[in-house]
Structure 1
Amino acid sequence: MLIEIPQVFSSDEVLQLRQQLDERPWIDGNQTSGELAATRKRNQQLSKDDPVAQALGQLIMDRLLAHPLFVSAALPLEFYPPLFNRYQGRQTFGYHIDNAIRTTENGMVRTDLSATLFLSEPDSYEGGELVIQDTYGQQRVKLSAGSLVLYPSTSLHQVTPVTVGERTSAFMWLQSMIRDEGQRRILFQLDQSIQTLTAQQADAQQIFNLSGIYHNLLRRWSEL
């Protein structure tokens, strides 16, 4: 399930984020790669220990945890804090699958979901599409600055070469309360239906019944 979440940050907020990010020292992205990824990855990143990157990463997590669509789709349990990368001068990241386990200061995070928050406007660079292979075929994603795409970490994906301009983004992984992608999809579809019916002021008893089914399924499937 691939979910696009528009305008997590406004244009003005993205501008403020970029001003802070662009002033930081960028390093070779392969300093954070494993041996296999290093053969496919050509980009720059901010160090995960950079204090500005850490503060902006926390801002992103706080914003996402307050976003109803993100919470509905991800049912987040634990984040691997956001990192920041940029591509320019034909830099790219070839097809790969993200590592299953990431280590944080608080322990291990199983990467159920991956997310990219775009921080460059799509008309400011050429190339740089996030190409994701999923059950519905190849999905090509290039969103407006401030928008985010969420997709299963099991997906084969790549970032195509940036031939003109610069592509800056935040990327992150998270462990969901629901490990199984199919079960997450069912819960997401059910929750979206409940929200739609609520907005339409449908029969209150029917909404109540559906909400009970949702929470009983969440109780049955969650890993808490």
Structure 2
Amino acid sequence: MFKQLSLLDQAQVRELKNIADQAQFVDGKISNPYSKVKNNLQLHDVEGYKKSSKILHDALMANREFVDFAFPERVAPPLITRYKPGMNYGLHSDSAIIPLPDGPLRSDLSCTIFLSDVNDCKGGALHVTQGEAGMRFKGIPGTAIVYPSYTLHEVEPVTEGERMVAITFIQSKIPDVMNRNLMYELNEVAALEGLNMAHENYTRLQAVQYNLMRKWMR
């Protein structure tokens, strides 16, 4: 259900930070005015948004682990957000439908891409709940975490420094989370062990893969 990625090299991280340093940020409620739990800043600069979202989108689509895990059909343009001391994003699940200029996107998966150094920020962990348990993520710059959009999650309060990340949402070709995870695991096993199998058995395994993709993909 979760996938951690090494996504950006340090040159890309520096470029994104430079874009953010020169861009305007506004209250994050501009994109969700009715939220009672959102307390952050988001990039509000046309050129900076175009440039940064292209760098991030291209990096995601070039990352084989991401593509194999998410089966992306559409990816929302990633958006850089900031959290200063006292800011947080309370417990919430992400909206099922993300309005975009080219039509609504169904959010099957959410992705947080870490840009700031974890040592420069106290607090600010991404906390994703699983029943009564939970997982906390504070990645090093250039890493990312992909997780189901339906999960309840929060950004814990920043107490010192600044948290800077980019966020995006993915519409998957396999909407059902269980089917998507099974397809991912089956593909991984086939990739790792397929060459060790008898040819006729590997052929049968491929037929199962292809037929499940026909059945589950939308």
TM-score scaled by length of structure 2: 0.94
Q: Partner of 1:45 in structure 2? A: 42
Q: Take 2:68 and 2:116, find their aligned partners in 1: how far apart are those partners?
A: 26
Find out whether 1:4 has 2:4 as its counterpart.
yes
- Once the two structures are superposed, the pairs formed by residues 1-224 of structure 1 within 5 Å of their partners are 1-6=1-6, 8-35=7-34, 37=35, 39-47=36-44, 50-134=46-130, 137-197=133-193, 201-203=195-197, 205=199, 206-223=201-218
Counterpart-to-counterpart distance in 1, 2:4 and 2:93 = 20
SS of the residue 2:207 aligns to: helix
Q: Shift in Å at residue 63 of structure 1?
A: 1.6
Q: Aligned-residue CA RMSD in angstroms? A: 1.6
Instruction: Please give the alpha-carbon distance, in whole angstroms, between the structure 2 residues aligned to 1:123 and 1:210.
Output: 46
TM-score normalised by structure 1 residue count? 0.91
Q: In the TM superposition, what whole-angstrom CA distance separates every residue of 1:172-217 from its partner, at most 9, and x where no partner exists? A: 111101110000010111111122225xx42362444323322211
State the distance in 1 between where 2:13 and 2:93 align.
28
Equivalent residue letter for 2:29? N
Which whole-Å CA distance do the structure 2 matches of 1:208 and 1:55 have between them? Answer: 44
> Any conservation in 2 of the 1:89–1:162 contact (CA below 8 Å)?
yes
Q: How far 1:22 sits from its partner (Å)? A: 1.4
Distance 2:63 2:57 in 1: 10
How many residues are aligned here? 217
The structure-2 alpha-carbon separation of the partners of 1:208 and 1:83, relative to structure 1 and needing over 3 Å to count, comes to same
Shift of 1:62: 1.6
User: Which segments of 5 or more consecutive residues in structure 1 lack a partner in the other structure?
Assistant: none
Alignment CA distance shift 1:195-1:121 (3 Å): farther
What one-letter code is carried by the residue in structure 2 that aligns with 1:213?
A: V
Question: Unaligned regions of 5+ residues in structure 2, if any?
Answer: none
